[in-house]
Structure 1
Amino acid sequence: MTTREEAFQIVTKYVKNNGLINHMLSVEAAMRFYAEKLNADPEKWGVAGLLHDFDWEIHPSLEEHPSAGAPILRELNVPEDIVHAILSHGEGVERITPMELCLAACDELTGLITAVSLVRPSRSLYDLTASSVKKKWKDRAFAAAINREEIAANTQAFGVELWQHVDNVILAMRKIASQLDLEGSLLPDGSPSEK
């Protein structure tokens, strides 16, 4: 089993963009949240989330990512079920296991949640709700690159109601808001900070 520390070393070796690292940390947090909820292995699910985009900077096209990154992960002895989960978040690899379905459901959604947080007056996850995300969901010009239909379909395939899923991922990301620089002007309890 690849440890979280080993996975993070892989990330920092291949990824230089802090925004991309924060995206992978967000997906890791969401994966851990669901693993705990489903009595699965939070370490394994977390590592899959953390590593899922490790090769995006070296293979920045959907034709190559994540398939061209899989051999690198195998050389680094990342377990095959994690490699398969990472492959399944791309095109052409069927998602079968709960871990694979969860990764697909959480991936794009974390980006939308981050984008909504950043346009709020607080610039914080601590006061963000699913209803705020729902308002921006309807605005197709907002975060236009994020495919809402894909998020909805992947969430349905994972077996969770969409807005409950949004709430769950917000809760998961709140746990690491300081790491993501998404505390904004609030404390974890939602009160104003002294910043």
Structure 2
Amino acid sequence: MERERAVKLLEKHLTSPHLIKHSYAVESVMRALAKRFDPERVDFWGVSGLLHDLDADLVDWKNDPTLHGPKTIEILKEVSFGDEEMYHAILAHNEATKTPITNFLDRALYASDPITGFITAIALVYPDKKVKSVKVKSIVKRMDEVRFAAGANREAMRSIENLGISFEDFAQLSLNAMCEISDVLGL
């Protein structure tokens, strides 16, 4: 996959700074997961994560969540970017599309999407607001605090265990990945 081309697509279609940062965060976690589960396709997994929310500024997904995902696929097909596996993972990350999770890529994206926002929420409660201040112990503890980041899909994050990785290991991997791009995230 051509990452540079993916970045240009991201910059063209997403305008919300928080969504752009989120996309880079998901990319970083997906790359880390690919190194563990599919080392031959790190770039493919990363680009899938980078582009998973490409339509978030273009559709009214808050009022109709089923719109989120299909528009991304439409955009990607128009410019001949990606393939059916990527499209399926992008659709499967949004439960509203009712696209079943069928493989490692789908599961990884489904779990990576919410954990990046969850880690960001934790970082923002620290005085320095830095992701490097977050500890895995805090991530694990906050999972049981249902009022903290109440919108974060904890079931999706924990579903990573279906890939044979513990949630604690996933939290560590995700945190490390986000720390590597903390400057991009502004955290």
The structure 2 residue matched to 1:68, chosen from 42, 67, 71, is 71
C-alpha RMSD of matched pairs (Å): 1.4
Q: How does 1:73-84 map to 2 (within 5 A)?
A: 73-80=76-83, 81-84=85-88
Residue 11, structure 1, aligned to residue 10, structure 2: yes
1:75 positional shift: 1.0
**Which residue, out of 100, 104, 109, partners 2:106?**
100
Q: Deviations over 1:158-180 (max 9, x none)?
A: 33111111111000111100110
- In the alignment, the residues of structure 2 paired with residue 90 and residue 161 of structure 1 have an alpha-carbon distance, to the nearest angstrom, of 22
* Matched position secondary structure for 2:147: coil
Which letter does structure 2 place at the counterpart of 1:57? D
- Give distance in 2, aligned partners of 1:103 and 1:23: 13
Structure 2 unaligned regions, length at least 5? none
Say which SS state the counterpart of residue 133 (structure 2) adopts. coil
Partners in 2 of 1:21 and 1:66 — Cα distance? 16
Counterpart in the other structure of 1:130 = 136
Q: Is the Cα contact below 8 Å between 2:93 and 2:109 reproduced in 1? A: yes
Distance 1:150 1:8 in 2: 26
- 1:83: Cα distance to partner? 1.6
Give the partner amino acid of 2:182. Answer: A
Encode CA deviations 1:36-69: one digit per residue, 9 max, x unaligned: 1222311101100000001011123211111232
Structure 2 counterpart of 1:171, from 164, 168, 176: 176
Distance 2:115 2:131 in 1: 14
Residues of 2 paired with 1:135 and 1:121: CA distance?
19
- 8 A contact 1:105–1:158 mirrored in 2: no
- The answer on whether the counterparts of 2:52 and 2:72 sit within 8 Å (CA) in structure 1 is no
Q: Is the 8 A contact 1:31 1:103 kept in 2?
A: yes
**Corresponding residue for residue 119 of structure 2:** 113
SS of equivalent to 1:138 = coil
Q: Secondary structure at the match of 2:71?
A: coil
Question: How many residues in Structure 1 have an aligned counterpart in Structure 2?
Answer: 180
Change (3 A) 1:60 1:157: farther
SS of equivalent residue, structure 1 residue 142: coil
**TM-score with structure 1 length normalisation?**
0.87
- For residues 6 and 138 of structure 1, what CA distance do their matches in structure 2 show? 39
The answer to whether the Cα contact below 8 Å between 2:117 and 2:152 also exists between their aligned partners in 1 is yes
Q: Which amino acid aligns with 1:114?
A: T
Task: Choose 43-52 or 62-71, whichever is displaced more.
Answer: 62-71
| Structure 1: gaps (5+ residues) | 183-195
